[in-house]
C-alpha cells in the first residue's frame, strides 16, 4: 500500500431520528494507531457516531470508511472493529474464558487454540486466574477488563470504547485510564473512546473531538482544546474556563471578541499591574482550599461577571468572602473565540 488510509473516515455523516439530528454533518479522520476521544455532554451525538462505526446503526446520509473501505451495508460482524460496551454486555451464561473466546469460537477457531488465545488476552488485562468464573461473580472493574479482553482477542484494527469507565469508582477509573493508555501504546490499535469526562479525554488522548448538538465543535490535541478553545461551549465544557464577553475583553485592552481565560492564568496583585497585565478590581464571594491550589470565586466590580480564579495554595492565606482584591490579567492569556456555540 502506497497510501495509508485513515482508520476511520466520516464524510458529511448525518443520522436523523425523526426530527432529531443526533449526528449532523460530521467530517472526521482518525489515524491508524491513534487514541481518539469523542467528548461531549449526553445527547451530543458521540455515542451515535460510535454505533455508526460499529455498524449497529446506519447513517441517514454521508459515508463512513474503515481503512479505506466503504462500510455502507457491511453488517457489524463483518467489520474489523470491536466494541467495549458501556454496560459491558458480557454473556451471563458463559464463564469468563468462553466470553473472551466467543469471537474466535464463532469464527470457527478450535477449542484448544481459542482457549489459549483467550487466556493470553485475559493475562493482558491482568485477569489470568478468573477464567472459570461467571460474569456475575466479578466486580465492576473485573467485568470491564473481561469486556476489554473479549474485544481485543479478535485483534481489531479499531477498538471502540463507549464510556467504558463510567460505572467505575474514581480510584479504579484512574488506574484503568493508565492501563488503557499503556495497552493502546503497546498494541498500536486505533482506540475511539467516547466519554463525557473531560479529564479522561484530555489525559489519555492523542486527539479529542468535542461534540455539541450532533456536530463536532473542535478537533485537536488535548493542549489545543484546553488552551485554545474555538468556541465558548468548548471553553466551558472542557475544564471550566472563564468566558469574558467581548466588551470586557476590549475594556481590558484585549481583543474585541469573547475570550476564554483560564482560572490559573489570573494572578492576585498587591501593587500596580506589571507590563502586559490589566488590573481588575473584584470582591471575593467564595474561597476554597484544594490542597495544591486555592480556588476563588470573585465578582468583578461594575460588571455582571463572575470569574473563577485558581492560585497556588501558598498564596492568599487569609482571603475570605467579602474581601476586595485586584486581579492581574495577562493580556496574552485572553484567547479570542467564535460565537456562543
Partner 1 sequence: MRSDRASRPLKLAALGGLLFLHVPLLFVFLYAFTTEEKSYQFPPPGLTLKWFGVAFGRQDIWDAIGLSLRVAALATTVALVLGTLIAAALARRQFFGREAVSLLVILPIALPGIVTGIALRAAFNLMEIDYGLLTIILGHATFCIVVVYNNAVARFRRLSGSLVEASMDLGADGFQTFRYVILPNIATALLAGGMLAFALSFDEVIVTTFTAGQQSTLPIWMLSELVRPRQRPVTNVVAVFVILVTFLPILAAYYLTRDESGHK
**Least distance in Å: CB of 56 to partner 1?**
5
Minimum Å distance from CB 199 to partner 1?
26
Q: Measured from the CB atom, is 75 or 314 closer to partner 1? A: 75
The owner of cell 485513515 is: 6
Choosing from 27, 41, 58, 87, the residue that interacts with partner 1 (CB under 8 A) is 87
- In the complex, the smallest distance separating the C-beta of residue 308 from partner 1, rounded to whole angstroms, is 39
Q: Which is nearer to partner 1, 150 or 207 (CB)?
A: 150
Among 52, 97, 119, 151, binds partner 1 (CB under 8 A): 151
Please count the residues of this chain forming the interface with partner 1, following the rule CB under 8 A.
25
Q: Closer to partner 1 at the Cβ: 154 or 189? A: 154
User: Helices (DSSP H) in the chain: which residue ranges?
Assistant: 46-54, 96-106, 111-124, 140-152, 170-187, 198-204, 222-227, 232-237, 246-251
| Dist. CA 113–CA 134, nearest whole Å | 21
| Cβ nearer to partner 1, comparing 82 with 277 | 82
Regarding 186 and contact with partner 1 (CB under 8 A), the answer is no
Distance CA 310, CA 305 (A): 16
Contact (CB, 8 A) for 176 and 165: yes
Q: 56 or 289: whose CB is closer to partner 1?
A: 56
Residue 258 CB, nearest approach to partner 1 (Å): 41
150 belongs to the binding site for partner 1 (CB under 8 A) = yes
List binders of partner 1 among 34-63 (CB under 8 A): 54-56
314 is a contact residue toward partner 1 (CB under 8 A): no
Angle at the Cα of 133 (from 129 to 138), degrees rounded to 5? 90
CA dist 216 and 213 (Å) reads 8
Closest CB to partner 1 among residues 91, 289: 91
At residue 105, the 3 state secondary structure works out as: helix
Instruction: Decide: is 93 part of the binding site for partner 1 (CB under 8 A).
Output: yes
Site string for partner 1, 102-121 (x = CB under 8 A): xx-xxx--------------
Closest CA to 72 of 120, 130, 9: 9
For the CB of residue 319, give the shortest distance to partner 1 in the complex, in Å.
50
Q: How far is CA 270 from CA 28, 251, 298, 325, in A?
A: 48, 21, 16, 8
Q: Are 14 and 60 in contact (CB under 8 A)?
A: yes
Question: Cβ of residue 75: shortest distance to partner 1, in angstroms?
Answer: 7
CA–CA dist 110, 126 (Å, integer): 24
- Interface stretch with partner 1, choices 26-34, 83-91, 219-227, 297-305 (CB under 8 A): 83-91
Please give the distance of CA 235 from its chain centroid, rounded to a whole number. 14
- In this chain, which of 48, 71, 144, 154 binds partner 1, going by CB under 8 A? 154
Cα dihedral: 80, 85, 91, 95 (round 10): 90
Closest contact distance (angstroms) between CB of 100 and partner 1 is: 10
Among residues 3 and 77, whose Cβ is nearest to partner 1?
77
User: Nine-digit cell at 288?
Assistant: 476554597
Q: Which of 77, 129, 170, 186 binds partner 1 (CB under 8 A)?
A: 77
91 lies in the site for partner 1, by CB under 8 A: yes
Instruction: Calculate the dihedral angle through the C-alpha atoms of 286, 171, 185, 9, rounding to the nearest 10 degrees.
Output: -60
Binding site for partner 1 (CB under 8 A): 54-56, 75-77, 81-83, 85-87, 89-93, 102-103, 105-107, 150-151, 154
Amino acid at each position: 500500500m502506497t497510501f495509508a488510509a485513515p482508520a476511520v473516515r466520516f464524510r458529511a455523516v448525518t443520522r436523523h431520528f425523526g426530527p432529531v439530528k443526533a449526528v449532523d454533518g460530521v467530517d472526521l479522520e482518525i489515524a491508524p494507531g491513534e487514541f481518539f476521544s469523542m467528548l461531549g455532554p449526553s445527547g451530543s451525538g458521540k455515542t451515535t457516531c460510535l454505533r455508526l462505526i460499529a455498524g449497529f446503526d446506519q447513517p441517514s446520509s454521508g459515508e463512513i470508511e474503515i481503512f479505506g473501505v466503504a462500510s455502507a451495508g457491511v453488517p457489524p460482524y463483518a467489520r474489523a472493529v470491536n466494541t467495549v460496551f458501556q454496560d459491558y454486555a458480557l454473556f451471563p451464561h458463559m464463564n469468563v474464558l468462553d466470553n473472551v473466546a466467543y469471537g474466535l469460537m464463532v469464527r470457527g477457531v478450535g477449542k484448544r487454540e481459542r482457549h489459549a488465545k483467550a487466556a493470553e488476552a485475559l493475562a493482558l488485562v491482568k485477569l489470568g486466574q478468573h477464567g472459570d468464573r461467571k460474569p456475575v461473580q466479578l466486580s465492576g472493574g473485573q467485568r470491564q477488563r473481561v469486556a476489554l479482553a473479549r474485544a481485543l482477542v479478535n485483534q481489531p484494527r479499531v477498538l471502540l470504547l463507549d464510556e467504558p469507565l463510567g460505572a467505575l469508582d474514581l480510584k479504579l477509573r484512574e488506574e484503568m485510564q493508565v492501563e488503557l493508555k499503556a495497552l493502546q501504546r503497546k498494541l498500536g490499535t486505533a482506540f475511539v473512546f467516547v466519554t463525557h469526562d473531560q479529564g479522561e479525554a484530555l489525559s489519555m488522548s492523542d486527539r479529542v473531538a468535542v461534540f455539541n448538538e450532533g456536530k463536532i465543535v473542535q478537533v485537536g490535541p488535548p493542549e489545543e482544546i484546553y488552551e485554545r478553545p474555538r468556541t465558548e461551549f468548548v471553553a466551558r465544557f472542557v475544564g471550566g474556563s472563564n468566558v469574558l464577553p467581548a466588551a470586557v475583553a476590549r475594556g481590558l485592552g484585549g481583543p474585541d471578541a469573547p475570550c476564554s481565560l483560564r482560572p490559573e492564568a489570573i494572578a492576585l496583585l498587591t501593587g500596580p499591574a506589571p507590563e502586559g497585565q490589566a488590573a481588575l478590581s473584584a470582591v471575593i464571594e467564595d474561597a476554597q482550599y484544594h490542597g495544591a491550589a486555592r480556588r476563588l470565586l470573585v465578582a468583578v466590580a461594575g460588571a455582571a461577571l463572575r470569574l473563577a480564579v485558581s492560585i497556588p495554595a501558598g498564596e492568599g492565606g487569609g482571603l475570605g468572602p467579602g474581601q476586595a482584591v485586584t486581579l492581574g490579567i495577562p493580556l496574552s492569556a485572553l484567547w479570542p473565540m467564535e460565537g456562543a456555540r
